[in-house]
Amino acid sequence: MPVTIRRAEPRDLPEIQALLHAFGQHLERPEWVTGSAGALEAALFGDPPSGHGHVAELDGRVVGIALWFLTYNFWTTRPVLYLEDLYVDASARGSGAGEALLRALGAEAVARDCAWMSWAVLVTNQGAKRFYERLGAAHDPSWEVWRLEGDTLTALGTGRN
């Protein structure tokens, strides 16, 4: 049976959350997955939603997720599709689900006139890098990802630094 890609629906929340936890385990970073089911529901299906999701189904079972949001590039004055999480269950790897999810997001980016589609890859995730390269994606070494979080973010945001 072929892989089916569709937009995520509220009924998919348990599978999406389970796949997020599996993704954390896969990356050996389970402590990164701390969100609640209610917050995930609000993010994907609130009014307005913070982000969007697509799911991959195989034999009627959700086996993959692509969670994304739009950002904006002021240099090009066009939106950018940012892929936050792409994960396919180990049982469905090699089925084409990951590629089908990325193709669906590519179609979203084209339909929304996005300047580009981007995402981050954990430095140690060589399999993902090979997968993305096979699809024509390229690493951009001219940019580094930086972030503030936890106490540092709180200190900056409250002026206590």
Could you report the per-residue pLDDT of 47-77, keeping only the tens digit for each? Answer: 999 999 999 999 999 999 999 999 999 999 9
Q: Is 133 exposed, middle or buried (0-12, 13-18, 19+ CB in 10 A)?
A: exposed
Q: Distance between CA atoms of 16 and 110, rounded to whole angstroms?
A: 25
Percent of the chain at pLDDT exceeding 70: 100
Q: CA angle 132-89-149, nearest 5°?
A: 70
What is the pLDDT of the chain when averaged over all its residues? 95
Average pLDDT over residues 107-114: 98
Task: Find, among 65, 68, 71, 51, the residue nearest to 114 by Cα.
Answer: 71
Confidence of residue 1 (pLDDT cuts 50, 70, 90): confident
pLDDT at residue 135 is higher than 80: yes
Calculate the dihedral angle through the C-alpha atoms of 38, 41, 47, 50, rounding to the nearest 10 degrees: 110
Could you report the per-residue pLDDT of 15-50, keeping only the tens digit for each? Answer: 999 999 999 999 999 999 999 999 999 999 999 999
The pLDDT assigned to 76 comes to: 98
pLDDT at residue 161 is higher than 90: no
Q: Distance between CA atoms of 2 and 13, rounded to whole angstroms?
A: 22
**Token digits for 82?**
């940012």
Side-chain half-sphere CA neighbours of 80 within 13 A? 14
pTM for the model: 0.93
The pLDDT assigned to 160 comes to: 85
